Amino acid sequence: MLSAFLAMIDSESNKDRFEQLYNKYKDLMFNISYSYLNDYHAANDAVQEAFLRIAKSIQKFEQIDSEEVFGLISVITKFAAIDTYRILKKPKTEPLAANTKLFKSFDSDCSENFILQEIYRLDEKYSSVLYLKCRYGFTLNEVANALNLPVSTVKNRLRKGRQLLAEALEIDI
């Protein structure tokens, strides 16, 4: 299966990075997926979907051993598992649905860690978009690909999530 993902990637350095990432995190990704799905085959499907999403944005994964990559892979895998669950249980439903500029707008009153904690407290459909945008600097298209959502949905959830976060922090944006 690794060769199918490598065929999607253009540069040799990105292929090497993806292969390292694949070998290092495949077991972790399976465990995350299995914890949501409790089904071996469904968990494997979710891991493959997560790797597909990762392959599409492999340039974001610069340091394979970093905490950021670990967190990013965990988030992508979690949402791939949720999407797989929804496909299995409700085939007609849409999948579930954070930006450095957001941190700058709150910077005077709050620390980045405090803001991230507040993001986690939001409804999951807003927190996931904000987290990828704020923490990892994903573009709207990259967030849409990672969470398997239309860009318009990502824009709406980002806007609403910012509003909810500002209310939670009692700050005007």
- At residue 173 the predicted structure's pLDDT band, cuts being 50, 70 and 90, is low
pLDDT of residue 93: 30
Integer Cα distance of 11 and 106 in angstroms: 38
- Which amino acid is located at 19 in the chain? E
Number of H helices, E strands in the chain: 9, 0
- At residue 95 the predicted structure's pLDDT band, cuts being 50, 70 and 90, is very low
CATH 1.10.10.10 positions along the chain are 96-173
Residue 15 has which token pair?
């292929």
| 103-145 pLDDT per residue, tens | 555 444 456 667 777 887 888 888 888 888 877 778 888 888 8
Secondary structure of the chain: what % helix, strand, coil (to 5)? 75, 0, 25
Predicted TM-score (pTM) of the model is 0.57
pLDDT of residue 111: 63
pLDDT of residue 27: 95
Tell me if 61 sits within 8 A of 24, measured CB to CB.
Answer: no
Mean predicted confidence (pLDDT) in 62-66? 85
C-alpha closest to that of 141 among 131, 152, 130: 152
| Coil, strand or helix at 116 | helix
Q: What is the residue-averaged pLDDT of the chain? A: 80
Helix (H) or strand (E) holding 21: helix 12-37
Integer Cα distance of 84 and 50 in angstroms: 10
pLDDT of residue 10: 80
CA-to-CA dists, residue 30 to 76, 116, 157, angstroms: 12, 26, 28
Residue 94 has which token pair?
């849409």
| Coil, strand or helix at 65 | coil
- At residue 148 the predicted structure's pLDDT band, cuts being 50, 70 and 90, is confident
- Which amino acid is located at 136 in the chain? Y
Does the 1-92 domain belong in CATH 1.10.1740? yes
CATH number of 96-173: 1.10.10.10
CATH 1.10.1740 positions along the chain are 1-92
pLDDT of residue 96: 28
